[in-house]
Amino acid sequence: MKTDRKIRVLISKTGLDGHDRGAKAVTYFLRKAGMEVVYLGQFQTPESVINAAIEEGVDVIGLSCLSGEHMSFAPELIELLEEKNLKDLLVIMGGTIPRKEIPLLKDMGIDEVFESGSPMSTIVNYIRSKIKD
């Protein structure tokens, strides 16, 4: 049975990455697509992201990275998800991530990686296809 519950998404900038224009744009378009979005902002730790995901009861964690730190914080975030028994959460990532590192991120547990410039409709459609009402 279909409910009126909206998909809940948490968007965050993890690490020392201070460039948040893309994350804010994704937040805007996800909201415009009818999703509830919590934007944590910049300079978050994997622990703060996981704690907020639990507190907010989200379906999706979206991480934005333009600084090149993704290979240091992504494994820690995935490990925390496993420790907290939250492996059902959809975890997506976007930003300036080298194509050769995308398979590594997916192997460690990131569900999908969107390169800079990915159409917003691609992100929206991906989330909708994975999170069923």
| Per-residue pLDDT at 1 | 43
Tokens representing 116? Answer: 């800079």
State the Cα–Cα distance between residues 113 and 133, nearest whole angstrom: 23
pLDDT tops 90 at residue 8: yes
Q: What confidence tens digit (pLDDT) does each residue in 25-81 have?
A: 899 999 999 999 999 988 889 999 999 999 999 999 999 887 666 677 889 999 999
Tokens representing 58? Answer: 């989200």
Average pLDDT over residues 98-102: 91
Q: Which helix (H) or strand (E) holds 114?
A: strand 112-115
Domain boundaries, the chain: 8-130
Is-contact 38 9, C-beta < 8 A? yes
Average pLDDT over residues 116-127: 94
Q: Hey, which CATH number is domain 8-130, 3.40.50.280, 3.30.360.10, 3.40.50.300, 3.30.200.20?
A: 3.40.50.280
Give this prediction's pTM: 0.90
For the chain, what is the mean pLDDT? 88
Work out the pLDDT band at 87, boundaries 50, 70, 90.
confident
3-state secondary structure of 116: coil
Average pLDDT over residues 4-10: 90
| Per-residue pLDDT at 15 | 66
Q: How far is CA 49 from CA 32, 36, 54, 99, in A?
A: 23, 16, 9, 25
